[in-house]
């Protein structure tokens, strides 16, 4: 049981005569037993952050505290942290039992029968007890993943670090393991940092998610908070599928003017906007209502409705993604249930002011 804290963690790599700032002044606190997902696009510094915590990469500056103790000077095996890698990193010449025992034999002086008991119990919990005498090459990807988890669990560490542990599994197994891993972590109650580039994994698994871009932390919050109240344009565009739509707008008196529509704002929103004139309006595809053509006349002259051209309709089963074009750009709406929208037609769309997000066009920070 432990808290894990990063204080102003920075990592620079030399790149010829240049320098890469892989991790840039990251400060973060992971609570005791918390499942924190570190998420961001490829190359944003996730693995480097994890490797520094594990002691596999040196720290340029900053501090790592485990249970309030600095651990930066300790070698990896003395950090009491277990890491699970994307490629499982199992020893091919050892059986499943050997792989699981290895971590324990290395790092502690536990009696042999106690090691055996721990391995057997963990294998049973992970439903791999029938595989203990097999070698990794004789296991499926999903089974190898369980062995890698088992090897981390038997060590009973203060924290788990997981680097994209599900990315080598097929989509169905990945979805299954997502749920299982989350349940397991809850049962074991071990502080965990889980790295992924997949926003769905982040949203479904994290107690909180930490979003990283270009080495910098963008927002640390619950998945729903990141979804409903993104701190900036990057988070807004990264979280949610299909992505949030963005429109460049100018505030003129009491309304926003975009190429293709005008959008009046209420006094409280105007107050949040302050004296900014250049903004970005964000609206999630599921918050856009596509008005049935037979009802369009009801919205004639309504201030939050406008017309747009339907470019493509993508049926997804119980919902459709409808791609629109405007004079200057495009946007997407997600429509649930049966809906008679045809490509090539012009239809009315509307969205309520309560659903819009506004960002400062210069800084990208959320203003509303």
Binding stretches for ligand ATP (CB under 6 A): 13, 15, 20, 22, 40, 42-48, 197
The strand pairing partners of 30, in sequence order, are 4
61/266 with CB nearer ligand ATP:
61
The SS3 call for residue 61 is: strand
How big is the CA angle at 29 (ends 28 and 33), to the nearest 5 degrees?
Answer: 140
Closest approach, Cβ 51 to ligand ATP, in A, equals: 7
State the minimum distance, in angstroms, from the CB of residue 177 to ligand ATP: 19
Q: Is the CB of 44 or the CB of 356 nearer to ligand ATP? A: 44
> Which one, 53 or 119, has the nearer CB to ligand ATP?
53
Minimum CB distance to ligand ATP, residue 15 (Å): 6
Omega before 242 within 30 of 0, i.e. cis: yes
Q: At its nearest, how many Å lie between ligand ATP and the CB of residue 142? A: 21
Q: Which is nearer to ligand ATP, 45 or 150 (CB)?
A: 45
> Which is nearer to ligand ATP, 30 or 195 (by Cβ)?
195
Closest CA to 318 of 341, 340, 292, 337: 337
The nearer residue to ligand ATP, 182 or 197, going by C-beta atoms, is: 197
Q: Taking the complex as a whole, how short is the minimal distance between the CB of residue 182 and ligand ATP, in angstroms?
A: 21
Q: Is the dihedral of CA 39, 43, 45, 46 positive or negative?
A: positive
Min. distance of Cβ 268 from ligand ATP in angstroms? 39
Dihedral angle computed from the Cα positions of residues 355, 179, 23 and 243, in that order, rounded to the nearest 10 degrees: -30
Nearest residue to 245 (alpha-carbon basis) of 280, 290, 202, 203: 280
The H or E element that residue 104 is part of is helix 96-107
Nearest C-alpha neighbor of 193 from the set 205, 176, 184: 205
């Amino acid at each position: 049981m432990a808290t894990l804290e990063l204080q102003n963690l920075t990592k620079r790599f030399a790149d010829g005569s240049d320098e890469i700032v892989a991790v840039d002044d990251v400060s973060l606190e992971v609570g005791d037993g918390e499942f924190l997902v570190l998420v961001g696009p490829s190359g944003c510094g996730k693995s480097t952050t994890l490797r520094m915590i594990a002691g596999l990469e040196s720290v340029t500056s900053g501090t790592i505290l485990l249970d309030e103790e600095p651990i930066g000077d300790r070698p990896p095996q003395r950090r009491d942290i277990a890491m699970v890698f994307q490629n499982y990193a199992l020893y091919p010449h050892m059986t499943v039992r050997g792989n699981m025992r290895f971590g324990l034999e290395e790092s502690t002086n536990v009696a042999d029968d106690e090691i055996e008991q721990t391995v057997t119990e963990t294998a049973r919990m992970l439903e791999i007890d029938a595989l203990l005498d097999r070698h990794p090459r004789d296991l499926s990807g999903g089974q190898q993943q369980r062995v890698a988890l088992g090897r981390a669990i038997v060590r009973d560490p203060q924290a788990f670090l997981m680097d994209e542990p599900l990315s080598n599994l097929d989509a169905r197994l990945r979805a299954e393991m997502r749920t299982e891993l989350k349940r397991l972590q809850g049962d074991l109650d071990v502080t965990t940092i889980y790295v992924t580039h997949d926003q769905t994994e982040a949203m479904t698994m994290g107690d909180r998610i930490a979003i990283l871009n270009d080495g910098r932390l963008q927002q640390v919050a619950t998945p729903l908070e990141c979804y409903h109240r993104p701190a900036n344009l990057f988070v807004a565009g990264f979280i949610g599928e299909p992505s949030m739509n963005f429109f460049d707008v100018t505030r003129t008196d009491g309304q926003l003017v975009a190429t293709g529509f005008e959008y009046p704002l209420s006094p409280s929103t105007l107050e949040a906007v302050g004296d900014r004139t250049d903004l970005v309006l964000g609206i999630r595809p599921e918050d856009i209502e596509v008005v049935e053509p037979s009802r369009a006349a009801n919205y004639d002259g309504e201030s939050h409705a406008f017309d747009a051209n339907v470019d493509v309709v993508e049926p997804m089963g119980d919902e459709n993604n409808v791609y629109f074009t405007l004079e200057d750009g495009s946007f997407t709406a997600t429509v649930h249930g049966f809906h008679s929208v045809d490509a090539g037609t012009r239809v009315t769309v509307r969205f309520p002011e309560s659903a819009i997000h506004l960002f400062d066009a210069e800084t990208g920070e959320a203003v509303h």
